[in-house]
Chains A and B, each alone.
Chain A
Amino acid sequence: MDMKTSSGKKLGLKEKYRHMTRGLDWETTYQKREDVFPYVAYEGIKIHDWDKWEDPFRLTMDSYWKYQAEKERKLYAIIDAYAQNNGHLNVTDARYLNAIKLFLTGISPLEYMAHRGFTHAGRAFPGSGPRVACLMQALDELRHAQTQIHSLSNYNKYYNGFHDPAHMLQRVWYLSVPRSFFDDAVTAGPFEFMVAIGFSFEYVLTNLLFVPFVSGAAYNGDMGTMTFGFSAQSDEARHMTLGLEIIKFILEQDPDNVPIVQRWIDKWTWRGYRVLTLVGMMMDYMLPKRIMSWKEAWEVYFEQNGGALFKDLSRYGIRPPKWLDQISFDKDHISHQAWATFYQYGAIADFHTWSPTEDELDWLSSKYPDSFDKYYRPRLDYWREQAEQGNRFYNKTLPQLCQTCQIPMVFTEPGDPTKICYREVDYQGEKFHFCSDGCKEIFENEPEKFKQSWLPANQIYQGNCFPDGTDPTVEGFDPVSKVLEYYNIQAGRDNLDFDGSEDQKNFAKWRGMATSNE
């Protein structure tokens, strides 16, 4: 694709990078420098020489456009072919589409937030090297949001639950988990944002989201998702590299930066880990053809990789993130605890849940020999029995939420999976509740920020999640149906069990039409 005729002398990569990322900035004259870069000092990070920052890929804007254009052409060729060929009927099983709904509503809008965050960080940094890198990443993230929405709009023509992701992100209870995670990052200072998203999320955790997810899409016959996934991933390697580079740069600039960065690494590894609970559930329960268990992915991409990373960073005085013992114990549990939660609350979700089949349960038993049969399988068996007798269980009582991660308080005590973990803090005469020591400590470090959390369950009980003009005092008032209306979730179509759903019936009918002459 890149045939060159060798005529004349070309600049080497290093020189080209130098020319195109240095000397682009200027000293301020008629405004004070602090007024032009107002956010660069208040976090306490000290930078002495911005030119020490270097992108190891040495990518410059001209090459950036060239390769991104190539990626877009590849992507749209496949999206068109996929749509023209009724590719949606090739997915293994229509249950799979529910993982994609969760992705569209929970992840794609975050790509857009990442775009905003990187434009903001890029603007805040006085050094032109990191500004260029932030600009590229900001453009990538905008591209990710657009290509995901575009690719998945094809599913919206045929299936329920794909119709209103941006609206739902602002309102729906479980979507407040990823939303508040990103809101926390973009409202932090530019250095914290880079450690939060650039390092902790992109470098330490993003493989857990994208690699199994996209490989899973491929395995489940979903070429549309696989394609935007790969296209986004090809940017991820650059993002990860930027994340690692920014950490090294900050740490090398001044020893006073080390404790500040350490606290951010602790906070954001824990925050990111909590958000990834959704991915764990998706891998273990929502892909009809499994690629690897959540636990296996965690061991490869977090324990092995992260282990090497933190060993390397120890020379700066950085230690591995806090609460790793608990994280390591919990890898046998969190995906099961999350699925049980969504199964129970399937009446107020934008996707379907179901009872796993017998061979899926056996797969889970074999992947989780120390926990599944003992703690989780009996409950699923019981629920399935009940569903078969017409008593599909829906929990109607809203759960208490963690003030920090906003996940329902369903996680268990470190070391004891039979006991729900509760922590609380008294602050300014109010009680705040937490799912874990990690979330509690994060609150204690920044109570003024986290006391403002918009907790969906609390907001519903306060009457703030009904459509305008709702009168909750009328005879026979049904709060759940009003909340669904406020969420723009269509009762009976988007929610409830997969078994008996419109998606299930349509998929079976259309697949039948595609494979026979009926």
Chain B
Amino acid sequence: MSTVFIALQANEDTRPIIEAIVADNPHAVVNQQPAMVKIDAEDSLVVRRETIEELLGREFDLQELQINLISLSGHLDETDDEMKLYWNA
């Protein structure tokens, strides 16, 4: 088993994003650290545009994540609808 993670700044922009990630990834573990949030998940993690839009009440472009992203691990694949992190092994 390998862990992937995504780390985001802790601010008003990311609150609904983090909430969406938790909703879409029941296996994810959220770690609050000074001024940042690190979310770990076994094998893979998905960030879905639709879930964020529902929580946000507006349209959301996944590339907006660029502004508040701190770090991540794993292979990445981004489309209009989702951003996925995963390991192959």
Say yes or no: B2 contacts A311, CB within 8 Å: yes
Do A241 and B76 form a contact, CB below 8 Å, given A67-B67, A211-B7? yes
CB of A238, distance to nearest CB on chain B (Å): 7
User: Which has the most chain A C-beta neighbours within 10 Å: B61, B76, B79, B80?
Assistant: B76
CB of A227, distance to nearest CB on chain B (Å): 10
One of A40-48, A52-60, A175-183 contacting the partner: A52-60
B59 is contacted by which of A3, A57, A233, A312 (Cβ under 8 Å)?
A: A3
A57 is contacted by which of B36, B61, B63 (Cβ under 8 Å)?
A: B63
Complex interface bits, A1-34 against B, C-beta within 8 A gives 1, otherwise 0: 1111010000011100000000000000000000
Q: Which residues of A contact B71 (CB under 8 A)?
A: 206-207, 210-211, 233, 236-237, 240
Q: Which residues of B contact A237 (CB under 8 A)?
A: 66, 69-72
Answer whether residue A416 sits at the interface, using C-beta atoms and an 8 A cutoff. no
Complex interface bits, B33-54 against A, C-beta within 8 A gives 1, otherwise 0: 1111000000000000000000
Say yes or no: A63 contacts B63, CB within 8 Å: yes
B2 is contacted by which of A13, A56, A308 (Cβ under 8 Å)?
A: A308
Answer whether residue B75 sits at the interface, using C-beta atoms and an 8 A cutoff. yes
CB of B67, distance to nearest CB on chain A (Å): 6
Say yes or no: A67 contacts B78, CB within 8 Å: no
C-alpha gap A244/B72 in the complex (Å): 12
Say yes or no: A14 contacts B79, CB within 8 Å: yes
Say yes or no: A240 contacts B72, CB within 8 Å: yes
A13 is contacted by which of B4, B76, B79 (Cβ under 8 Å)?
A: B79
CB of A170, distance to nearest CB on chain B (Å): 31
26 sampled A-B residue pairs with Cβ under 8 A = A12-B80, A14-B79, A56-B77, A56-B78, A59-B63, A63-B63, A70-B67, A207-B71, A214-B35, A215-B34, A215-B35, A218-B35, A218-B36, A219-B35, A230-B9, A230-B70, A233-B70, A234-B66, A237-B70, A237-B71, A244-B75, A307-B2, A308-B4, A308-B74, A308-B87, A315-B89
Query: A interface vs B, CB < 8 Å?
Result: 1-4, 6, 12-14, 56-59, 63, 67, 70-71, 74, 206-207, 210-211, 214-216, 218-219, 226, 230, 233-234, 236-238, 240-241, 244, 291, 304-305, 307-309, 311-312, 314-315
